[in-house]
């Protein structure tokens, strides 16, 4: 029905601005609109809710039509097929909705937009006009704004709370809260992230071209990574347990990396096991006496004189197992008792003995594990240690930091600042970043890591590995939250690294960790550890350049940018 009925009192404002009808229509105009709706219902079987307005200038020829309360259809909208819309939905002028289309509540459809819930086959044996049609349908969630001149193709599902930018051509599903735009539509940012993008560095026309290229590559990578994630996880499953890559032995970390990777790209646990089985395996791996998790098939060494255990795998598992369980909406089965009984005096003695002079990374990693164990104890309602232990940790760190570098430890002749900077990342990740405490001397931190990032032994060509890039990117990101010091240089470095990192992705197998000294990483072959780490690195690099919204994910595990728990006691 699309002919103007001469019995409907005319007011062109309502046809093109139908939101005015409920407030401004006269009783005569309301009666005429209800009569129009009754005729439409009698002719098509339409179900129309209360306080709706349907312009007589709209072309409504549905097979089935249901419209919720407080909704409207403006002039020259063209609706055919099987259409269902919830309350507070709007079809603005010249909207086209065809095929099977289901809208949730509070969906706004801009003018000249098309939702095409059907398609033609394209077999070469007949002309297009004789091809059969197919229909998978379009589904749109609640609270969605679809801009003007958008095209949404058959088979697409748009989640709740989304924004579709004007002129977008939507060919793929859109997750909840996503803001997308472009042809084809690409992720712009999460609608909940209201911080906006930091300014891009200047660079003239060439810089603009490079920036646009990085934008496109990053968005395309995000799509490819999500599509390939199930195969990457299946590749690392040996039928019983997770391995870093085919042929490697099963490890606890591989299982945790699988959980993190699936959470980042799929928003769900890995499909090889039910979620409850993932939780059961990880919780069962914990030693009930110490609360630590040994490597598969290994036993924990005897504790040192102060009661603390020095086992590299078990200490890292405090991070990896704890965060994997958190992503699975669970928690460790037992407190980390190896930490719970430590007194402030024992802690300061241990901190003093850590190898700051020549192995600052090992010192920082110990603090990372200790502080994270204290976090899980707090989460379980247990003491993080003897009262005053966490305050002692931060007090020791704040009084031992070098005010000239913002770091702990000293450079070495043979490795430069590598141990110091890498140790800074591990130390601050578990302490300042994890508990939401501001790092000291952020400007000096940025000076130090930018100086280290120019070291040709570790950066440039094919020399970067995931550990070394992460351990610069995170301090730049963390210290950059507190200061704009040398922000353009940090963005330039991050943009260069982002460009190189995207080229390391291997179709169907993910990222390799990268070249590393013997025994310090899994190597160049792609696997779960390299993939999980580089995905987190890409987010940090992208955020430093104002592009993280193009990825459509935000790390929530070991490499999460936000604090896991804010301390309530002032430091």
Q: Which residues are catalytic?
A: 120
Quote the tokens at residue 543.
């955020």
Q: Pick left, alpha or beta for residue 104 (phi over 0 → left; psi -120 to 50 → alpha; otherwise beta).
A: beta
Q: Enumerate helices (H) and strands (E) in the chain, giving the number of each.
A: 17, 19
**Chain-centroid distance, C-alpha 76:** 40
Instruction: List alpha helices for 453-486, DSSP H.
Output: 466-480
Quote the CA–CA distance of 320 and 297 in Å, as a whole number.
Answer: 18
Q: 397 near 438, Cβ under 8 Å?
A: no
Q: Output DSSP code: residue 486.
A: T
For the chain, how big is the Rg over CA atoms in Å? 29
> Beta partners for 250?
243
For 118-169, the DSSP string reads -EE---TTS-GGGSPEE---EEE-SSEEE-TT-EE-TT-EE-TT-EE-TT-E
Quote the tokens at residue 353.
């003995």
Residue 549 CB coordination number (10 Å): 23
Phi, psi of 36 (to 5 degrees): -60, -45
The three-class DSSP label of residue 512 is: strand
Quote the CA–CA distance of 401 and 407 in Å, as a whole number.
Answer: 6
Per the listing, tokens 């395996």 go with 281
**Chain-centroid distance, C-alpha 166:** 24
- Whether the link from the prior residue into 184 is cis, omega within 30° of 0, is yes
Quote the CA–CA distance of 290 and 308 in Å, as a whole number.
Answer: 9
> Beta partners for 223?
none
User: Of the candidates 557, 527, 513, which has an alpha carbon nearest to the alpha carbon of residue 236?
Assistant: 527
Buried b (16+ CB within 10 A) or exposed e, 490-528: bbbbbbebbbebbebbeeebbbbbbeeeeeebbbbbbbb
Quote the tokens at residue 63.
């097979």
The three-class DSSP label of residue 18 is: helix
Residue 35 CB coordination number (10 Å): 13
Cβ neighbors of 254 (< 8 A, separation 6 or more) are 236, 241, 242, 243, 244, 248, 528, 529
């Amino acid at each position: 029905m699309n002919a103007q009925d001469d019995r409907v009192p005319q007011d062109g404002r309502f046809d093109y601005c139908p939101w005015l009808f409920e407030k401004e229509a006269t009783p005569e105009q309301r009666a005429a609109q209800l009569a129009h709706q009754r005729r439409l219902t009698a002719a098509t079987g339409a179900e129309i809710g209360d306080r709706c307005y349907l312009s007589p200038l709209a072309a409504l020829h549905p097979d089935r039509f249901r419209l919720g309360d407080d909704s409207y259809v403006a002039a020259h909208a063209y609706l055919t097929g099987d259409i269902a819309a919830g309350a507070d939905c709007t079809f603005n002028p010249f909207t086209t909705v065809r095929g099977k289309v289901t809208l949730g509540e509070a969906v706004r459809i801009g003018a000249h937009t098309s939702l095409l819930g059907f398609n033609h086959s394209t077999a070469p044996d007949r002309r297009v006009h004789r091809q059969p049609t197919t229909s998978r349908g379009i589904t749109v969630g609640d609270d969605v704004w679809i801009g003007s001149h958008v095209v949404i193709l058959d088979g697409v599902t748009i989640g709740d709370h989304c924004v579709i930018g004007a002129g977008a051509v939507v060919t793929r599903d859109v997750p909840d809260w996503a803001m997308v735009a472009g042809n084809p539509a690409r992720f712009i940012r999460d609608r909940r992230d209201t911080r906006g993008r930091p300014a891009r560095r200047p660079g003239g026309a060439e810089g603009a071209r490079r920036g646009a290229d990085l934008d496109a590559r990053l968005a395309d990578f995000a799509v490819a990574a999500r599509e390939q994630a199930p195969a990457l996880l299946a590749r690392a499953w040996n039928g019983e347990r997770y391995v870093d890559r085919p042929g490697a032995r099963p490890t606890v970390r591989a299982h945790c990396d699988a959980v993190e990777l699936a959470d980042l790209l799929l928003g769900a646990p890995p499909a090889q096991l039910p979620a409850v089985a993932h939780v059961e395996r990880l919780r069962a791996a914990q030693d009930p006496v110490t609360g630590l998790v040994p490597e598969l098939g290994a036993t924990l060494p005897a504790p040192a004189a102060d009661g603390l255990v020095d086992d590299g795998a078990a200490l890292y598992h405090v991070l990896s197992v704890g965060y994997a369980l958190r992503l699975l909406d669970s928690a460790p089965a037992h407190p980390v008792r190896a930490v719970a009984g430590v007194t402030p005096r024992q802690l300061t003695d241990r901190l003093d003995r850590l190898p700051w002079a020549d192995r600052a990374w090992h010192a920082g990693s110990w603090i990372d594990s200790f502080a994270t164990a204290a976090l899980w104890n707090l989460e379980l309602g247990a003491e993080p240690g003897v009262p005053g232990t966490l305050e002692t940790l931060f007090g020791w760190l704040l009084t031992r930091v070098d005010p000239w570098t913002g770091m702990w430890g000293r450079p070495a002749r043979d490795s430069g600042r590598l141990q110091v900077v890498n140790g800074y990342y591990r130390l601050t990740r578990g302490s300042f970043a994890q508990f939401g405490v501001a790092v000291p001397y952020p400007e000096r931190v940025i000076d130090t890591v930018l100086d280290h990032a120019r070291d040709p032994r570790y950066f440039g060509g094919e020399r970067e590995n995931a550990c070394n890039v992460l351990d610069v990117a995170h301090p730049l990101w963390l210290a950059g939250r507190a200061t704009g010091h040398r922000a353009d240089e940090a963005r330039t470095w991050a943009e260069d690294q982002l460009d190189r990192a995207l080229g390391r992705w291997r179709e169907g197998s993910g990222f390799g960790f990268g070249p590393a000294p013997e025994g310090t990483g899994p190597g160049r072959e792609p696997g779960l550890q390299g993939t999980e780490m580089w995905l987190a690195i890409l987010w940090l690099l992208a955020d430093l350049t104002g592009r993280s919204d193009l990825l459509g994910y935000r790390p929530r595990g070991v490499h999460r940018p936000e604090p896991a728990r804010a301390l309530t006691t002032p430091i």
